[in-house]
Homo-oligomer: A and B are copies of this chain.
Amino acid sequence: MISVPDLHRRLTALNCRTVAIQAPEGLKRLLPRLADDLHRLGYEVIISGDPCYGACDLDLDARDQADILVHIGHTPVDGTERVIYETWPVDGDISVIKEVIPRLTGKEAGLVTTVQHIHLLSQAASLLLDEGIKPIIAGPSPRTPCRGQVLGCSFEAARRTGAQEIIFLGTGLFHPIGIKLATGARVFACDPVTGNIEEPDSDRLLRVRFGLIQKAREADSYGIIVSSKTGQCRSQLADRLCSLSDKAYKVVLGEVTPDQLLNLGFPCYVNTACPRLAYDDQVRFPAPVLTPGEFEILCGVRDFDHYEVDEII
């Protein structure tokens, strides 16, 4: 939960009177209430209504109608100005990690999590130490300013542990599979909310991606998607991919939706926007959506044996 008095102090220190507020979909319903609280404190408030998937997706239109943008739920991924960040800690029970310990083969383990559980990480490290396991937590990287933090587009904090076994504290299998592909380590996905532990299987993902690349070979043109979102725009990468084929065209998109890909009509797309799109949303799309590395494989400048998970680093 956000502390309105704390936020008020931060805004007062920056001399802000007009405040734009933005949150991801799961937290969006908080915004009318927060607007009301800030309004009572004398601020003029503008709510960002567009979909929001991360700090890579700052609403500059809303910010530009205000003195500052308050972005809720994420940490900064770039140096965009006039933005302050308020994370949204989600509690959980780290004792789930105890069940991992007998399954570890070594005496040390990498430890990573997502931003909403960052405040649980030092307790989790202590718990491991108490059980004789040395926790390895990597320092910050450019897109992940917290120690031990991973994003759907950056597994740097996992890679930097150099560990053979990595414990991911968090929800879902997207991050654990990404960590496995990025590091080659054995990964334990420990959910502090449900108490579940899973060892993710990345082989199935690789089989699916290989199939997609084979299907994409039939395409006679390619739409190279370039995001217009603040922290997802990889123009140089798109230019390089365009140079690999005479039939590749840059397509600028904000929201990458099935309808938009259908309307454009390309038989294959290559995604340089949010890496999760190609992996998580493929089933929704009307055509193969390859990652940059997969397009390199298709164009013959990379081997499938050197498959790399797509990250923005």
A residues neighboring B (CB under 8 Å): 20, 25, 28-29, 31-32, 35-36, 39, 45-51, 59, 61-62, 65, 221, 223, 225-226, 228, 235, 249-256, 259-261, 263-266
Q: Which residue from chain B places its CB closest to the CB of A249 in the assembled complex?
A: B35
Instruction: Name the B residues within 8 Å of A36 (CB-CB).
Output: 221, 249
Contact (A47, B264) CB under 8 Å given A32-B221, A35-B249: yes
A50 touches B253 (CB 8 A): yes
With the chains together, A46 CA to B35 CA distance in Å? 38
**A260 partner, pick from B39, B49, B252, B263, beta carbons under 8 A:** B49
A225 touches B49 (CB 8 A): yes
Task: Return A71 CB to nearest CB of chain B, in Å.
Answer: 14
B221 touches A47 (CB 8 A): no
Instruction: Name the B residues within 8 Å of A260 (CB-CB).
Output: 49-51
Instruction: Name the B residues within 8 Å of A25 (CB-CB).
Output: 263
Task: Return A43 CB to nearest CB of chain B, in Å.
Answer: 11
Task: Return A4 CB to nearest CB of chain B, in Å.
Answer: 16
Instruction: Name the B residues within 8 Å of A39 (CB-CB).
Output: 249
A265 touches B50 (CB 8 A): no
**A49 partner, pick from B47, B62, B223, beta carbons under 8 A:** B223
A264 touches B31 (CB 8 A): yes
**Apart from the given pairs A46-B252, A48-B251, A50-B255, 19 other A-B contacts in the complex at a CB distance below 8 Å:** A28-B264, A29-B264, A32-B221, A32-B249, A32-B265, A32-B266, A36-B221, A45-B249, A45-B250, A46-B226, A47-B251, A49-B256, A49-B260, A49-B261, A61-B228, A62-B228, A65-B235, A254-B254, A255-B255
